[in-house]
Amino acid sequence: MDELDRKLINRLQQGLPLVPRPWEALALELDSSSAELRARTQALLDDGTLTRFGPMFDIERLGGAFTLAALAVPEERFDAVAEILAALPEVAHNYRREHAWNMWFVLGCATPEGIAESIAHIEAQTGLPVLNLPKEQTYHVGLHFPV
């Protein structure tokens, strides 16, 4: 990773400029070209330095719903259950925690009713009860990891 990669990652954490040609505006800021910045972003995704690059939507304002959920998965089934969740488009991501509820995930659905349907589907597929932890209050926290 060189200095331009670091500057690009730091800048992308603030979002793209909201202009008709955001990559060109970003290129001016970083003294590069838009093609170079897009290629570097793709290379950082390809090598795993970045795991995701894309917009963040307020799903509730769009009529949808999301929730944090967890499963208590027996260790010998952990990978198989993770694969089941990873195959579901409603599951934004899942991760391991050192806790009795050891698999946590976020469900995002087009409708609030979709949450209950997705939970029922996951319980049927895994044979495990889902701990549903819907949001009670919204907090906006800025998060930036300087590189």
Let me know if residue 101 belongs to a domain: yes
Residues 82 and 23 both lie in one domain: no
Residues 38 and 91 both lie in one domain: no
pLDDT in tens, 18-56: 999 999 999 999 999 999 999 999 999 999 999 888 887
- Among residues 111, 112, 130, the alpha carbon closest in space to that of 120 is found at 130
Let me know if residue 82 belongs to a domain: yes
Residues 85 and 121 both lie in one domain: yes
Strand order in the sheet with 131-133: 91-96, 103-109, 65-71, 131-133
Let me know if residue 80 belongs to a domain: yes
Q: Give the CATH number, domain containing residue 129.
A: 3.30.70.3460
Let me know if residue 146 belongs to a domain: no
Range of the domain at 30: 3-46
Q: Phi/psi at 96 (nearest 5 deg)?
A: -90, 140
pLDDT at 143 over 80: no
Number of domains into which the chain is organized: 2
Let me know if residue 13 belongs to a domain: yes
Give the pTM: 0.67
